[in-house]
Amino acid sequence: MKKMKQIHAHTITNNLTRFSYISSRILAFCSFSPRGSFRYAETLFTHMPNPNLFDYNSIITSYTTNSQFHKSLSVFTKILNTNVRPNSNTFTALVKACVTLSYLEQVFTLSMKMGNSSDVYFVSSVINVFSKHGAIHLARNVFDESSNRNVVCWTSLVSGYCSCGLVNDARELFDEMPQRNDASYSAMVSGYVKNGFFSEGIELFRELKKNQGYARVRPNGSLFVSVLNACTMVGAFEEGKWIHSYVEENGLEYDLELGTALIDFYTKCGWVKSAEQVFDKMPVKDVATWSAMILGLAINGNNLMALKLFENMEKVGPKPNEVTFIGVLTACNHKNMLGVALRSFGIMTEKYGITPSIEHYGCVVDVLARSGQVIKALSFIRN
């Protein structure tokens, strides 16, 4: 962003801002790039004398991405008072800014009048937002009335049904799909898992392996994470191990979600060494990754290793959170580790400012009781 500001300053100094294309490109960078700045984009847009449709779409997207929904709608209102005609990209960005169902219906109706019913990305966005508002019947109406439905639209509605808890309707629609891709399978499997149908999610994954042979559908990380979560819940070790083998054989990267899911899976199945191998191979680790490994070591009786890993986390890792300390305190579940447990509890509250939960209190009470200090345990609970 610093470099972009220098470029912008250069354009101003050399009177290049009169070329709208240059200003539009700078605005787009500030609006869309992860390294951009929506505040800077806002300032740029404010000083543009005659913004074009591309500029309007850029700033609406920037506002929506940064949860400035009222500003997105305000800019759209300004468009309607100009000679600029909104297109499907405008409405696709705008529907995500509709925080109420009434706004969404108004925007959708207007977009239909302007002939956007055939744009699949707009239609899929509308289906997603209607579903998030719990209006799955309206999402279905949009799907049925769309003149051009591709796999994105079908997948959006499958996800919508799952998010509303209508798993059977989602599966019925999934089975009707003329073609499926990795996102479709991921949506259906994750829908099963999020709604507690773990065995069904694993079975669908098995069907994918058996019938497709990955000729047309290559599984993605999101699908693997959903399947691993299901495997963890029902103890389907072979499926989880197969995913790990697939990742290794195909040279896939252990990203944050996939790596953490594998660590959680292996430790809960008692395979600590495999979890450690995944942990060591991950190029980037966040607080969830470290916490999963610490807790995994603790629940498998590797108490000292868990505490050692926590010490290392404090030195080179991210800031611990409340989940991290559940793992740390779980590692102190021996009567000889009462002092460590109490010190860790103090570090959690005083050094990191974490408010203890019932899980944290439970861990400390457990080690107090194991140490024969029942009265102190009762006092700890009261205080």
Top CATH class of 285-383 equals: mainly alpha
d(CA 169, CA 172): 5
Instruction: For residues 223-229, give the mean pLDDT.
Output: 94
pLDDT category at 257 given cuts 50, 70, 90 is very high
d(CA 122, CA 129): 11
Phi-psi region of 255 (alpha: psi -120 to 50; beta: other; left: phi over 0): beta
Cα dist from 310 to 27, 214, 257, 272, 300, whole Å: 44, 40, 20, 16, 16
Q: Is the pLDDT of residue 164 over 50?
A: yes
Long-range contacts of 238-243 (CB under 8 A, 24+ apart): 239/202, 239/205, 239/206, 240/265, 240/266, 240/269, 242/209
Name, of 43-47, 122-126, 185-189, 331-335, the range with top average pLDDT. Answer: 185-189
- Given pLDDT bands bounded at 50, 70 and 90, which one contains residue 267? very high
How many Cα neighbours within 13 Å face the side chain of 233? 17
Q: Are the beta carbons of 60 and 79 closer than 8 angstroms?
A: no
**pLDDT attached to residue 18:** 46
Give the pLDDT of residue 358: 92
Question: How confident is the model over 190-217, as a mean pLDDT?
Answer: 84
Given a cut of 90, is residue 198 above it in pLDDT? yes
Nearest to 272 by CA among 280, 260, 263: 263
- Res. 105 pLDDT band, cuts 50 70 90: confident
pLDDT over 70, % of the chain: 87
* Reported pTM: 0.79
Between 175 and 87, name the one with better pLDDT: 175
Mean pLDDT over 151-176 rounds to 96
pLDDT of res. 367: 92
Region for residue 280 given its phi and psi (left: phi exceeds 0; alpha: psi -120 to 50; beta: otherwise): alpha
- Does the pLDDT value for residue 252 go beyond 90? no
Q: Tens digit of pLDDT for each residue in 16-40?
A: 454 455 667 766 666 666 565 667 7
What integer is the mean pLDDT of 236-254? 92
Nearest 5°: the CA angle 192, 194, 196 is 70
What average pLDDT score do residues 203-230 get? 81
Give the residue from 221, 154, 234, 146 showing the smallest Cα distance to 190. Answer: 221
Of the listed ranges 121-125, 155-159, 172-176, 328-332, the least confidently predicted one is 121-125
pLDDT tens-digit profile of 291-327? 999 999 999 999 999 999 999 999 999 999 999 999 9
User: Does the pLDDT value for residue 211 go beyond 80?
Assistant: no
Quote the percentage of the chain above a pLDDT of 90.
52
49-61 pLDDT tens trace = 788 888 888 888 8
Closest Cα to residue 228, out of 255, 211, 249, 215?
255
Estimate to the nearest angstrom the gap between the alpha carbon of 195 and the chain centroid: 17
Per-residue confidence (pLDDT) for residue 372, from 0 to 100 = 87
Q: How far apart are CA 284 and CA 75, in angstroms?
A: 39
Confidence of residue 8 (pLDDT cuts 50, 70, 90): very low
Q: Which residue matches tokens 């850029």?
A: 58
Q: Are 9 and 15 in contact (CB under 8 A)?
A: no
Judged on CB neighbours under 10 Å (0-12, 13-18, 19+), 13 is exposed
Residue 10 has pLDDT above 50, yes or no: no
What does the pLDDT read at residue 68?
A: 85
Instruction: Please check the confidence at residue 42 and state whether its pLDDT lies above 90.
Output: no
Name residues whose C-beta falls within 8 Å of residue 299's C-beta, 6 or more positions apart in sequence. Answer: 267, 268, 330
